[in-house]
Structure 1
Amino acid sequence: MKPISWCSAVIKVERRAHAVHTLRFPAHLPTSSESRLPSVTSDNEIVQNIIAQAFSAIINLKHLFLLGQNSQPASIKLSTLASCTFSLCSFAGQVSGDLGIQEQLDFLLKHPTIEYWVPTEPFLRSVNSFPTNILPNLRQTVLVRPSLMKALGGRPIESLMILFIDITHSRAVEYTHGSLGPDWSTIDIISNLSRAAPNLKILTLGSLIKDDSVITAENQQSLVDAVARFCHLKILVLNTYMCALQKHTDEDPDPENPLEHSVAWEGRSPAQARQVATQFMTACPSLRRLSFPDTGPSPTNSLTYILSGTKAKLDGFYIIDNSGWWLR
């Protein structure tokens, strides 16, 4: 069903409106050149009015995801939702780029129950701090600015994903702004996160897209020590390549794990990778699942390990796909 048709149906049938708890709604709507409406002005007025009525009707909405292609301008304005009475637990996606920071903060202030929040990159580029009464119950978030974690300190954040990408242009970019500048390494970021969000249970850290973003044999122990500072971390996903994986060891593959005998290893040592994973899990006793790239600085696969007894056990080869990173 097309979004405007859906809005009209919701407006007309109260029972249908009250049954909506989760909504994935397009952030980009047709302009007059793409629709049958007579002009851009009437297009905007009619569409925004219909959306406002529909969103006012869905009083039980808890999870809102605004979907949109980055090549298209976001056209839903938060002011359109100003009269809504629902209380969100999850909010993610694209909103109109002409919104002021204060307008967006005011919207978040109206929803203190939000636990899952994925802001867009233009917003993150503009904001440097958050009042303590905004997002007080935040538990899960996805950021492209690790420095923002300092501003979010004090929230009960348990799950964090940091991806160094430009959402607007859908391409990888090097992180170059904020207090964590281009000279900060993966180790620096994890060390800072252990202080800003000590209660993290799930952490996904994207690649810095830099020549020096790999973890060398010389600084691997520093990374292990940084991870060890987390007391509650259960899942860690690192998209940063570790040079130690290229080392060879005389230890044989695990005879009880067929994954270590896979042709995917291509001459590399599964025992060495297992030793690296075990090193992390031993240093951070709470860690139960660990993923890291298996080949080169720009990998397409990751090795995923689980804790088995006192050692790491290879659980599978998973393709790293961040194309839908912000949509749960």
Structure 2
Amino acid sequence: MLIQSLALTDFRCHASLHLALQLDAPAGGVALIGDNASGKTSILEAIYLLSRGVSFRGSSPSDVIRHGQAHALVVAATQQNGQSTRLAVQRSRSGFQARLDSRSDVTVLDLARAFPVQVMDPRAHRLIDEGPVHRRRMLDWGVFHVEHTFIQEWRQFQRLLRQRNAACRRGDQAQLRAWNPAFIELGERVDAARQRHLEALAGSWRQRVNTLLDGEHHPLIAYRPGWPRQLSLAEALAQSEQRELEAGYSVIGPHRADVRLQLDGRQVRHQASRGQQKALVLALLLAQLELVAESLGHSPILLIDDFSAEWGAGMRERAVAQLQQGPAQWISTWLDAPESSARPAQMFHVEHLSHPAP
């Protein structure tokens, strides 16, 4: 699904904004150029809102509403395989409403399925050097779009996890054991889906890493389930039962899974520079988006905030080349206009798009 046009009303600092994009070369990319606090990131945030119903900034939902206004509105016209679709999300302080064409009973899950969007913001290094929750979310986003039964299994597993945790808190051994068979069955399904997804993207990721870092490196990506590899989940649960009852929560399972990245035999989180980490994250997102595009049969969207941060001219040029050959329509923000060797197909100065309040 490709964005053809985007309109914002009372969104962050934008009283009114309209952006029209070319669709003949979506992978050519879009650069949004402007000074700090000019509202560049807000445009990416609005696109993300159309897919997730929330901001990627982690702020309160009401923060996207322009000061003094009752609600913010984001509307996009999109095309998918020659078919046009109109998406709209209105965010008020009490919640949000969404529409897909004439449908008004639209959920966040509907938005996510209809409009797949990934983002790489200046905190992209969190995917590598912070906790595993960030890596699990990235992995699960891709599995969600590739394996259509995954969301139901993941939700059922989350409900079982809450019930099992409650039994641990109460110290109820009998109830804990009663939940184990379903926990094992769904946990193994979630685990297997994640492993398949990571194995499918690993080769593309390695190639992209070497291209971006411009050398012969040895990148390694590995999935770690939330229990010892030499044991089945059932065996691991049996061995950890007393520890879980004492801790008051489930200490093993897919909710404890992680993705580890190495470069030339060293853990990336400890050895790689921020610029290298950002390159590894971009390679990972592009490899994942490639799988998603193949599964869905149309282009997802990649948002890149503060494109040039942490990267020199050579890295910027290689990154743009990768994006232009990649599977996604990509929209990026820049403080200054890109140099000619790293220039997206379309460039807009944000001050020319936004109309101030009267």
Higher helix share: 2
Question: Is the strand fraction higher in 1 or 2?
Answer: 2
* Larger CA Rg, structure 1 vs 2: 1
**Which TM-score band (shorter chain)?**
under 0.3
When normalised by structure 2's length, the TM-score is 0.24
RCO comparison, higher one (Cα < 8 Å, 6+): 2
